[in-house]
Structure formats: C-alpha cells, structure tokens
Structure 1
Amino acid sequence: MNPINVLIADDQTIFCEGLAALLDLEQDIKVVACAANGSEAIEFAEKHRPDIVLMDLRMPGVGGLSATRMIKGKFPVMKILMLTTFSDDEYIAESMKIGASGYLLKDADADQIIRGIRDCYAGQLLLPASFHTMLADHLGTSHESVPQSPLPDAVRNALTRTEEEMLHLLLDGKKNKEIAKELYLSVGTVKNYLSQLYKKLNVRSRREALAMLKNR
C-alpha cells in the first residue's frame, strides 16, 4: 500500500522538523518536504504532488490562505489541513470557503495529528461542532447550532463556543480523552479549557459542575 504523502508548510523550523520526524515513524505516512512559507508550499506542492498539505495559517510573505487558494486552484483534489490555534476562527472559516479539508491544532498530541491525517485522507472533514455556527455565517449554509446550556444568560454569555461545547460533552458523560478526540484538541488543552470553565461556573471540579448543571 502506498503511503500518505504529506507536505508540511510552517515557518517555525523546529516545529516543522519535529513534526516531520514524528510522522515519518508511521509506516503509512511519508513527509515529502517541509516548506518555510507559502511560496515554498506552492512550489513543493507542484513538485511533489502530496496527498495532504499541512498548512500553517500565519507565515511571512505568502501566508497560508493565499497558498491554499493557489494550490487548490492548480490541484483541486489535493487535500489541505490548516495548522492553527483557536484564535484563528475567521481565518479557519475563510480557508474552508476556499477548499481546505479542515484543520489541526498546533498543540495537539502527535496521535491526534496522525489520526487527523488519516481521517482527512479517507475523505473526512476535520471540523468540530463548535465551529458549525461560525462557518454557517461565512459559507452561507445552515448548520444546527450548539444547544443552549442550562445556565443563566449572564453565565452562558461569558462562555466561549468551545467552553459551551465542552459543557454539553460533560453532560453527555465524556471524559477528557473523549472530549479531546471530539474537538481535535490535546488532553492538556482540554484540561486548561475546563479549568477556565470551572472558574466561570464558580465550581472547583467536574463533579460540582455536573451537579450544578443537572440541578437546573
């Protein structure tokens, strides 16, 4: 079976080389090149014809969005996964509009990135439910929004989309690893989000949070 050929585009050399080394340990994944900017990403995409491009959104010179637009224009079937953080909501929406196949968080665990690459190669869209409403505004499509939390408006309005999504996953009995898988986050990132969430709910633990939510 032929490996999944991957091109990594990221201006942080240490991140790029480290990720390449991790991916090359997998028998079914082969990193064909690392690009330091969007211009190189376009050049290497044409040279190597990878199955998937891992594209950093923020790079000097030609950025990830411009490079994605150029690559998808030349190679419509080539899949592109954006490397990003949750602060890049608007950029993520725009990248989906121009043909990206989803995104991976840069602080995700190696296993999650590997799984994401395989899922993308299999044709899955890598996009958690917490982005559906935001994307609907940009893509002109209708998605079911996240259900409202059983909380007072003042508290609910203080929550981010991700925090509110986590509330519903908590109510569904999901553990940290399951939440991480659902939202394509690292377990460490999930713990950080939950810590902030507990502060906003004025509770100290998952048990207290669940007790408060289920009593409303």
Structure 2
Amino acid sequence: MTTVLIADDQPMQRFGFRMLLESQDDMQVVGEAANGAEAVRMVEQHRPDVVLMDIRMPGLDGIEATRRIVAAGDRTRVLIVTTFDLDAYAYDGLRAGASGFLVKDAQPEELLAGIRAVASGDAVVAPSLTRRLLDAYVHHLPEAARADQAVVEDGRLAALTEREREILTVIGQGWTNTEIAERLHLAESTVKTHVSRILAKTGARDRVQAVILAYDTQLVTPS
C-alpha cells in the first residue's frame, strides 16, 4: 500500500486527487494540507510514502516545504504537480530535492504511474523532458553563477571512475538506459549498475538529481 499526502491550496484540486487515489486498491490518502507548513507538519505525523506537492501556496510555498521534508531525511518522497510554463519553479523544486514533477492536467493514469514510480525510488520526469526544462532555465543563469556552482559541486565527481563520469554526462544529455547501452556498447544491466553507483557516490537521490548534478558541474551545458 502506497500512502500519499496531498498538499494543494485548492480544495477542489485536493478533492479530485483524493477521488482518483482512493479508487486504487494500492493507494491510501493519509491527509490533505492547504499550505506548505501544514504539509511539513503532516509529513512528520503520518510519514507518507509520497507527497503530491503544489508549488504556489499561501505562507510556506511548495519549494521550501519540499526542502524541509527532504532535509528531514525520512523516507517520504515529493512529487511536484505544477505547470511547465513555470520552468524556474519546477527547476527550484528539483533542486530542493523533489523526485520529479507532473503537469496538473496530466492524464489520471500518468499521475498514478508517477506516484508509483516515485514511491519505488524512481524519478518521474522523462530524461529528455528534464533536459529541455533545465536547458530553458540554466541558459538564463549568469555565467559567473554557473561557474560558482561548478566549483562548489565538483568535489562530488571525484569518486567517479572515467566510465561513470561518461555515463553521468550522457544522463544529463537525456539518454535513457537503453540508449546508453546501445551507443556505448554495454549491457543494459551494466548500465543500471553504473547508474546505481553514480547515485550512491554523488549522493543524488534519483536520476533527476543526477541530471541537475551534471548541469551544476558543467559536464553538460545548455544547448
């Protein structure tokens, strides 16, 4: 059973999410929060597997709420539900530790699949879509800011082998495991092993965070 907390300031949105989730035999809604502060408190109380997190909420917004939930170090993972025209917000949410994001007008089956993926430890956002989002946002960062980030984050790459650094680079470029296996002439099981080691060595929570790391350290630059 996957437990879910819904955090959204719109009652009708929360109601819609609840109705959908409660129609599933493998999901249970453990609570609803109308703002970020409530979400943080309710996560401490219920320790859900997944939080469906809105970004724009009164008081404590979804970005800061995500940051606090992730910083607590519990098993709860955050799935941000937003719109793609808010690229900067989505990027900030991922950097805060969210495991991915979806659009609010996503099909019901997409939302359900996203929740299950996040609960199992995967990222929700497709690598190619993640790259387009980060390209759109990072392209507008001042060069000095990018350089500063690279200096701060570069130490996280020190433990990687040459092959792992290569694979992290192409993950940042939006390659799937299948594409990596085909283009680098590796078994897909070997690629999965490399990806797992990259996440462990860099402290990235999932593939989305690995993409962000690739950008921060300038292994990948905006197109």
Shorter-chain TM-score: what band? 0.5 to 0.7
1:160-212 deviations in Å (ceiling 9; x for gaps): xxxxxxxxxxxxxxxxxxxxxxxxxxxxxxxxxxxxxxxxxxxxxxxxxxxxx
| Correspondences of 1:169-208 after superposition (within 5 Å) | none
Residue 109 of structure 1 aligns with which residue? 107
CA distance in 2, matches of 1:18, 1:90: 26
Calculate the aligned-residue CA RMSD, in Å. 2.1
Higher Rg: 1
Residue 210 of structure 1 aligns with which residue? none
Counterpart code for 2:36: G
Counterpart code for 2:81: L
1:124-164 deviations in Å (ceiling 9; x for gaps): 11112122154374886742269xxxxxxxxxxxxxxxxxx
TM-score (norm 1): 0.62
Instruction: Work out whether residues 81 and 101 of structure 1, in 8 Å CA contact, stay in contact via their aligned partners in 2.
Output: yes
Counterpart code for 1:56: D
Higher relative contact order (CA 8 A, sep 6+): 2
Instruction: Work out whether residues 65 and 95 of structure 1, in 8 Å CA contact, stay in contact via their aligned partners in 2.
Output: yes
Instruction: Work out whether residues 47 and 75 of structure 2, in 8 Å CA contact, stay in contact via their aligned partners in 1.
Output: no
CA distance in 1, matches of 2:40, 2:90: 19
Residue 123 of structure 1: CA displacement?
A: 1.6
Identity of aligned residues (%): 39
Instruction: Work out whether residues 64 and 96 of structure 2, in 8 Å CA contact, stay in contact via their aligned partners in 1.
Output: no
Structure 1: runs of 5 or more not aligned: 147-216
Residue 143 of structure 2 is aligned to residue 144 of structure 1: no
CA distance in 2, matches of 1:133, 1:86: 11
SS of 1:53's equivalent in the other structure is: strand
Instruction: Work out whether residues 17 and 34 of structure 1, in 8 Å CA contact, stay in contact via their aligned partners in 2.
Output: no
Structure 2: runs of 5 or more not aligned: 139-145, 151-167, 176-223
Q: How many residues align?
A: 144
SS of 1:108's equivalent in the other structure is: coil
Residue 174 of structure 1 aligns with which residue? none
Residue 29 of structure 2 is aligned to residue 31 of structure 1: yes
SS of 1:86's equivalent in the other structure is: coil
Instruction: Work out whether residues 81 and 103 of structure 2, in 8 Å CA contact, stay in contact via their aligned partners in 1.
Output: yes
Residue 8 of structure 2 is aligned to residue 14 of structure 1: no
Residue 125 of structure 2 aligns with which residue? 127
SS of 2:3's equivalent in the other structure is: strand
Counterpart code for 1:107: D
CA distance in 1, matches of 2:111, 2:10: 17
SS of 2:85's equivalent in the other structure is: helix
Instruction: Work out whether residues 10 and 34 of structure 2, in 8 Å CA contact, stay in contact via their aligned partners in 1.
Output: yes
Instruction: Work out whether residues 80 and 98 of structure 2, in 8 Å CA contact, stay in contact via their aligned partners in 1.
Output: yes
